Amino acid sequence: MPTAKASGGCLCGDVRYEIDGPMRDVVYCHCEQCRKTSGHYVAATAVDTGQLKVVNDAGLEWYQSSDIADRGFCKRCGSSLFWRPVHGQYIAVMAGPIDAPTGLKSREHIHASDASDYYDICDGLPQFPHDHPGLWEDEPA
C-alpha cells in the first residue's frame, strides 16, 4: 500500500480533504449503486478513517445508500467522493478526485457480474463476480 500525504477534492472546490497514511490500491466496483452514483463504474482506494481529514466541508453531503454504507458527495457540483461503511473502520475514497500524482496502482474488479452491457473488462486484472472473501482483510485498520 502506498503511504502518502495526498490531497483531493470535488470539481468546484467546496469539498477538499487530506490523506495522511497508507492507501489501498484501486479496486474497481461495477455494482449497480456505484454505476448509478458515478455515471460509470467506481475506482476507489481506501484509508483508515483517522487518516482522512476533510479541510473544507462546505459542499459535503452524505446519502445513506444502503443498510451498510453512506456515500459522500458534493451537493454543489455532484462529485462522488467517499463510500463509508457503517462499521467506520475505513473509508473508501474515489480515486479520480485525488490530486495527481497518487502513487496508486489498479488492483482488481469486484461485482463484475453487474457490469453494464456497453463495456468490456479486458485489462487483465483479477475479476470477481461479487465481493470476495479477503477483499477487506488488508484494508487499513
The CATH number for 110's domain is 2.170.150.70
Ramachandran angles phi, psi of 65, nearest 5°: -90, -15
Judge whether 133 lies within some domain. Answer: no
| Residue span of the structural domain in which 98 resides | 3-114
Judge whether 42 lies within some domain. Answer: yes
**27: nearest Cα among 141, 100, 131, 133:** 131
Judge whether 126 lies within some domain. Answer: no
**65: nearest Cα among 33, 28, 29:** 33
Judge whether 136 lies within some domain. Answer: no
What's the pLDDT score for residue 131?
A: 82
Judge whether 127 lies within some domain. Answer: no
Judge whether 29 lies within some domain. Answer: yes
Judge whether 131 lies within some domain. Answer: no
For residue 20, give the C-alpha cell. 495522511
Judge whether 67 lies within some domain. Answer: yes
What's the pLDDT score for residue 3?
A: 53
What's the pLDDT score for residue 38?
A: 95
Number of domains the chain is built from:
1
Show pLDDT as tens, one digit a residue, over the chain (141 residues).
555 699 999 999 999 999 999 999 999 999 999 999 999 999 999 999 999 999 999 999 999 999 999 999 999 999 999 999 999 989 999 999 999 999 999 999 999 999 999 999 999 999 999 986 566 555 443
pTM: 0.91
